[in-house]
């Protein structure tokens, strides 16, 4: 008995089964079935494969390096120091080109400061209470109505700038060289256009329509693309973000992979104008003939640039292609199942047997 049972099970396991399909003479159901099929085909072919490029393997981890170089000179004339020629080594901080850099557009100067004893700034200045310019000695000065301090004298006078001293900095140029690499595909490229013309970089200037692949930007044009005026921003400074975006289809030619640039101002707070601007202090130290040290204190205002690089690349791969097509077949099967369910519900409400057309048979 046990041997017979195992034999029946084994023979049944090796049987091949086919189905019998039913043709339902229901035009509404047939039309809806074809409409659903067409929608699925359009979704798989149009959206998944063509628009979303579901046949490609993707990588969104980009390795990037950014090098910057600035050029331009400007002359300033202040009552404290007179004429001064500013070069790139003066107004670019840090002087070596990096992904984040600062360009001086304005400054307040306190010259000839020496270590000694002097009166602190008036107490009406709240900033002097929070951040004193020196160490208080404990003595009160009746002549000024303030405390005596030991520090760099004379103390910096707190005031707001009214106009930009380096207003012509808008004509400076920024050369941005960006190298990117997609390690998954062993693909590397630079944003500098491949050309046999050696003088191209000497005469080109970025324009999103005429010269979208030129890596040299005029400072004034760059700021204006954020929707702000350079002369207004130069007075108290600001922060600008430069986004370099690489979206590369590696199934196309190497020359078709090029960056797109976008610019935005980062320090704008719609609820408050107090937080807008960018400044910091630094000093230049000197020695007189007697060997005594003194310094010139600068409170510099300027524009901080943050260069951000994003990227993604895609290339044909058989695995995502099969997955995308298989998903389409699965959805088609769901559509067929749904229509059979609707048909079984409708057929129970009508008389008359359906027409059967045998397309297969059972093999015993």
342 touches 22 (CB < 8 A): no
Is 79 annotated as ligand-binding?
no
3-state secondary structure of 295: strand
Which residues make beta-bridge pairs with 1? none
Is 202 annotated as ligand-binding?
no
Of the candidates 103, 84, 100, 106, which has an alpha carbon nearest to the alpha carbon of residue 92? 103
3-state secondary structure of 296: strand
Question: C-alpha angle 195/253/193, rounded to 5°?
Answer: 25
293 touches 227 (CB < 8 A): no
Of the candidates 231, 110, 109, 242, which has an alpha carbon nearest to the alpha carbon of residue 163? 231
310 touches 62 (CB < 8 A): yes
Is 299 annotated as ligand-binding?
yes
Is 70 annotated as ligand-binding?
yes
CA dihedral sign, ordered 26, 31, 36, 37: positive
Is 173 annotated as ligand-binding?
yes
Q: What is the distance between the alpha carbons of residues 19 and 38, in angstroms, rounded to a whole number?
A: 25
C-alpha to C-alpha distances, 5 to 14, 82, 174, 192, nearest whole angstrom: 15, 110, 86, 77
Q: What is the dihedral of CA 300, 305, 306, 308, to 10 degrees?
A: -170
Is 168 annotated as ligand-binding?
no
Q: What is the distance between the alpha carbons of residues 74 and 184, in angstroms, rounded to a whole number?
A: 46
Is 219 annotated as ligand-binding?
no
Which residues make beta-bridge pairs with 148? 119
Q: What is the distance between the alpha carbons of residues 119 and 117, in angstroms, rounded to a whole number?
A: 7
* Eight-class DSSP state of 104: E
Is 71 annotated as ligand-binding?
yes
Binding residues for ATP: 69-71, 173, 279-281, 299
The annotated binding site is made up of: 69-71, 173, 279-281, 299
């Amino acid at each position: 008995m046990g041997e017979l049972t195992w034999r029946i099970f084994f023979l049944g396991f090796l049987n091949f089964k086919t189905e019998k399909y039913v043709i339902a003479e229901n035009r509404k159901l047939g039309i809806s079935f074809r409409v659903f099929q067409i929608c699925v085909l359009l979704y798989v072919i149009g959206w998944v494969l063509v628009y979303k490029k579901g046949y490609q393997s993707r990588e969104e981890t980009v390795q990037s390096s950014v090098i910057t170089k600035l050029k331009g000179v400007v002359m300033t004339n202040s009552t404290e120091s007179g004429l001064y020629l500013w070069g790139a080594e003066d107004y670019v901080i840090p002087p070596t080109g990096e992904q984040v850099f600062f360009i001086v557009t304005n400054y307040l100067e306190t010259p000839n400061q020496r270590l000694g004893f002097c009166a602190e700034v008036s107490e009406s200045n709240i900033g002097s209470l929070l951040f004193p310019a020196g160490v208080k000695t404990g003595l009160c000065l009746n002549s000024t109505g303030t405390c005596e301090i030991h520090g760099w004298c004379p103390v910096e006078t707190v005031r707001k700038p009214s106009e930009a001293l380096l207003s012509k900095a808008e004509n400076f140029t920024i050369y941005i060289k960006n190298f990117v690499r997609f390690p998954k595909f062993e693909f590397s490229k630079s944003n500098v256009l491949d050309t046999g013309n050696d003088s191209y970089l000497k005469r080109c200037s970025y324009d999103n329509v005429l010269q979208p692949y030129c890596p040299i930007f005029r400072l004034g044009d760059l700021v204006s693309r954020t929707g702000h005026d350079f002369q207004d921003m130069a007075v108290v400074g600001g922060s600008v973000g430069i986004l370099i975006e690489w979206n590369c289809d590696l199934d196309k030619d190497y020359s078709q992979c090029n960056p797109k640039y976008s610019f935005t101002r980062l320090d704008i707070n719609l609820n408050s104008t107090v937080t807008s601007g960018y400044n910091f202090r630094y000093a230049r130290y000197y020695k007189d003939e007697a060997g005594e040290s003194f310094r010139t204190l600068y409170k510099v205002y300027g524009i901080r640039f943050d260069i951000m690089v994003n990227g993604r690349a895609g290339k044909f791969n058989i695995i995502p292609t099969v997955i995308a097509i298989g998903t389409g077949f699965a959805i088609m099967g769901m559509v067929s199942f749904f229509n059979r369910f609707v048909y079984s519900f409708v057929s129970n409400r009508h008389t008359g047997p359906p027409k059967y057309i045998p397309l297969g048979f059972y093999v015993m």
